[in-house]
Amino acid sequence: MNALSDKTVGRLSLYRRLLNGLVADGVTHVYSHQLAVLAGGTAAQVRRDMMAVGYTGSPKRGYDIRELAQSIGAFMDAPEGQGVALIGVGNLGRAILAYFAGRRPHLAIQAAFDADPYKANRVIHGCHCYPMTEMDTIAAKANIRTAIIAVPATEAQAVAAKLVRAGVRGILNFAPIRLHLPAEVYVEDIDMTMSLEKVAYFSRKGRAEKEVNS
């Protein structure tokens, strides 16, 4: 299989969820141009992405939705499942636990960590919380390579460095700070406050300003 860009992997994630939605609605087949409308892309791009996972539909009936979702899963998911660690069990961390609880069997938050000992040794939304001091041991034992950072901005860099030393190679970072890490570590940032403040600003000032570069 070919190496893929992060945009392609993002689209595959989206396609799979759209396909699962169609299955839930009782649909069995879909054409590339229909999937393209749902995903906000072009039919040619959908077909290229599907070729990348090694699936080709029938020109007459379109893609078999169940087969296609399985092909994407075989491509994206670790066959043995993949554990994720969450660092920071404050307001945001608990919200993240609630959101992902039971959502992805192949990609579950296996352990949460917090520097505050009062937050440790509890089970929150089905996830066991440990003190930060146990992070290295538990991450190594469970072979955890993926982590979510939900600590305050001032602690995020130190936490990220500690995660990388413990073997983590991919980080979803909710802290509003740019992490400085070795090039082989993949980082994706989500800043919910920034996103809401942008939306609020442009909903007052008007969308046209989006196009103006200052």
By CB under 8 A, the residues from 106 to 125 that bind its own copies are 107
Q: How far is the CB of 191 from its own copies (least distance, A)?
A: 7
Q: Which is nearer to its own copies, 40 or 60 (CB)?
A: 40
Cβ–Cβ < 8 Å for 159, 90: no
Q: If binding is defined by CB under 8 A, does position 142 make contact with its own copies? A: no
Q: If binding is defined by CB under 8 A, does position 8 make contact with its own copies? A: yes
The residue behind tokens 């196009």 is 211
Q: If binding is defined by CB under 8 A, does position 200 make contact with its own copies? A: yes
List the one residue from 5, 26, 59, 60 that touches its own copies (CB under 8 A): 5
Q: If binding is defined by CB under 8 A, does position 79 make contact with its own copies? A: no
Q: E-assigned strands of the chain?
A: 29-30, 63-64, 82-87, 107-114, 122-124, 127-131, 146-149, 170-173, 186-189
Instruction: Characterize 14-24 residue by residue with b for buried, 16 or more Cβ atoms within 10 angstroms of its Cβ, and e for exposed.
Output: bbbebbeebee
Window contacting its own copies (CB under 8 A); options: 63-71, 113-121, 129-137, 199-207: 199-207
Q: Which is nearer to its own copies, 64 or 187 (CB)?
A: 187
Q: How far is the CB of 137 from its own copies (least distance, A)?
A: 19
Give Cβ neighbours of residue 38 (< 8 Å, ≥ 6 apart).
18
Cβ–Cβ < 8 Å for 77, 107: yes
Q: If binding is defined by CB under 8 A, does position 61 make contact with its own copies? A: no
Q: If binding is defined by CB under 8 A, does position 80 make contact with its own copies? A: no
List the one residue from 91, 105, 118, 123 that touches its own copies (CB under 8 A): 91
Q: If binding is defined by CB under 8 A, does position 160 make contact with its own copies? A: no
How many other C-beta atoms lie within 10 A of the C-beta of residue 5? 9
